[in-house]
Amino acid sequence: MGSEKFDAYLISMFCFHARVDDVESQCERVENENIEDWGAFTDNGILAARILNNKFDFIIDGTPVKSGGIGGVSTLPEYRNQGAVRDIFRKFLPEAYRSGEVISALYPFNQAFYRKQGYEVVNYQSNYELKPALLAGYKFDGTVKRWNPGEAVEEYVQIYNEFVESYNLSVLRDAKSMMEQMKVDKLYKERKFSYIFSLDGKNIAYIIFSDIQHDPAAILRVEESAWVSRDGFHAILAFLGRFEADYGNIQLPLPYGIDLLRIISTPGAYDIQKTCRYDYMLRVINAKKLLETIRKPSDCDFVMKVKDDIIPENNCMLRVAADSVSIEGGSGIPDITVSVCALAQMAVGCINLDEAILRPDVLINAKEDMLRKVFVEKKIFVVERF
């Protein structure tokens, strides 16, 4: 109901420390929003907690799959530690399966809590901090053009969509969603800038960055970058190297699977600081569909037992072949047994089999060589927030 949706909005405003001059002015907008909104009520009908399930199509091994992005998780303080959010997830997750979702993702406030709901940590990004001078050896002789508010973004969309096709957990964009990443209301107050790079008449890369005030020198924080060739990646590095007089440091995030320290050419590589991002978690909603989607060798053939305490349809034995996945009857010994937590990491490629078998919820009984060919590390690119 509309009034309940506004009550849920107020819970999030309270819990996320939002400062809004006139919340009532948002009432009509909130009540007309078409977002899947779940709530938990007290015995006397008071809305105590809510979560939002944003709809996405995440790319898995080149194929978009129906997915959910959990956001707005919030509980009024007087009802915390009483299991309200847990109760929502126990109702929501089986329904997500029935609605056709394959995976679900979120940015956790507490990893241990979400593991109990079947989510697991995915390393999706590495952040690098370095001096602009360390990139002085990179040169770019092509064209660099700044985007201005009001201009079209289709060239950025084209680069982005070509870039993300080979990255798991990315989302294809249109002009509207690209604008959401690039938009700026007051350019010289917010100081958020976008540039596109072209060589021989072809667009090869772009970068979006913000200017962060900091003493004794400002920081250039890259919000997002994408490239379609080695020349495009080098164009970004060369461009960042031009800012020696402007910024003390550059903060450069790169997708999981691209390690700057292994490929950079600079005498000062030891001065680059690297940190990894683990503030993203993934859950398998439909194990059979996920295993159907992932890339497998032509001779693939193994039996996997999946354990899921919340979605009963996932608690099953599956025969996985190159072009099919079927439910296996009987009580035979599977080649591998995994929890849904482990399967999430293994299927998207944030860990390989050698790492997976170090987990207590992964047991290999047979066909280790085959499994090693299926569960390999893959590139991951996550930008969307929800």
Given the structure tokens 């790169």, which residue do they identify?
Answer: 254
Distance CA 182, CA 232 (A): 19
Give me the pLDDT at residue 1, please: 53
Quote the tokens at residue 337.
């047994």
What tens digit of pLDDT does each residue of 47-78 get?
A: 999 999 999 999 999 999 999 999 999 999 99
Given the structure tokens 């962060």, which residue do they identify?
Answer: 212
pTM: 0.92
Helices (H), 301-363: 340-348, 353-356
- CB distance 299 to 322 below 8 Å: yes
What mean pLDDT is predicted for residues 170-190?
Answer: 92
- SS3 for 69-103, per residue? EEEEEEECHHHCCCCHHHHHHHHHHHHHHHCCCCE
With a cut of 70, say whether residue 28 has pLDDT above it.
yes
Helices (H), the chain: 2-15, 27-31, 84-98, 111-115, 154-164, 175-182, 187-190, 230-240, 260-263, 287-293, 340-348, 353-356, 368-374
What mean pLDDT is predicted for residues 164-192?
Answer: 93
With a cut of 90, say whether residue 179 has pLDDT above it.
yes
Going from the C-alpha of 64 to that of each of 153, 286, 333, the distances in angstroms are: 22, 14, 33
- CB distance 380 to 169 below 8 Å: yes
- CB distance 301 to 370 below 8 Å: yes
What pairing do the DSSP bridges indicate for beta strands 125-130 and 273-277? antiparallel
- CB distance 39 to 10 below 8 Å: no
Nearest alpha-carbon partner for 348 in 159, 170, 226? 170
What mean pLDDT is predicted for residues 94-109?
Answer: 97
**Average pLDDT of the residues of the chain:** 94
What mean pLDDT is predicted for residues 81-102?
Answer: 97
Neighbouring residues of 196: CB distance < 8 A, sequence distance ≥ 6: 144, 145, 147, 155, 156, 159, 203, 205, 206
Give me the pLDDT at residue 141, please: 96
Name residue 222's amino acid.
V
What pairing do the DSSP bridges indicate for beta strands 103-106 and 120-121? unpaired
- CB distance 288 to 103 below 8 Å: no
Give me the pLDDT at residue 22, please: 79
Lowest mean pLDDT across 34-43, 82-91, 120-129, 269-278: 34-43
Distance CA 243, CA 44 (A): 60
Residue 379 — pLDDT band, cuts 50, 70, 90? very high
- Judged by DSSP in three states, 47 sits in strand
